[in-house]
Structure 1
């Protein structure tokens, strides 16, 4: 449209093919995440997550704190927040009974984002540990107050969304 077809086919097309053909590892990641979610849904281990939520029924703020704590604990074990979202996706019917959909999206997203600075095997902590020549767990301990504070902010926004929904 801007009369740059020749440069697009000379530079853009090979670059697009090169970068697109290197996305196969993401397919493997998403297939294994789907497998994990489906397997967890069929296993008895899902009860470990369902039981506290059922016990806290009628107290949404405590359920929010439980979800935030679960995200943080599972992240500290080395599980990616997207996989943790998949785990909570297995009990989405139960969570939708406790929260409106908008609140649930805000809660799960903020919980996942809050754990990024404290993921010991995450990219941010790894790059920081290499640059500072420090143990990644020292960086995680230093970032933990920020992670918890950001989780509280996410819970606060989630509570506000409950009021207006």
Structure 2
């Protein structure tokens, strides 16, 4: 959504209100890891963000080209965050049942 001009912090602000009832089912640690890695991952692909804009000015490239070059990193970084949160969620569930 950052490619369309929606700021990641605004998205997190909206999601926090929606996710709050899920704290009874999921641990806040897992939710926090997913939110943080998701917000950090969008910083490298936000076409109108500070990081991409400064990089495009310094190397004289189109911001969309930089976004496309950064997309594989963003997908891997986001996936690692989701998997880490998933494994933490499952390990805490296993500990509770033991």
Band of TM-score, shorter chain? 0.7 to 0.9
Moved more, 134-143 or 85-94: 85-94
Q: Which runs of 5+ in 1 are unaligned?
A: 1-73
Residues 135-155 of structure 1, C-alpha deviation per residue, up to 9 Å, x if partnerless?
Answer: 111110111111011011111
Structure whose alpha-carbon radius of gyration is higher: 1
Taking the TM superposition and a 5 Å limit, the aligned residue runs for 1:130-141 are 130-141=57-68
2:30 alignment partner in structure 1: 103
Q: TM-score w.r.t. structure 1 length?
A: 0.52
Higher relative contact order (CA 8 A, sep 6+): 2
In the alignment, the residues of structure 1 paired with residue 58 and residue 85 of structure 2 have an alpha-carbon distance, to the nearest angstrom, of: 35
How far does residue 98 in structure 1 lie from its aligned partner after superposition?
A: 4.5
Return 5+ residue gaps in structure 2 as ranges: 93-98
Does the 8 Å CA contact 1:99/1:162 hold for their aligned counterparts? yes
Alpha-carbon RMSD: 1.4
State the TM-score, normalizing by the size of structure 2: 0.85
Displacement over 4 Å in runs of 4+: none
Match of 2:96 in 1: none
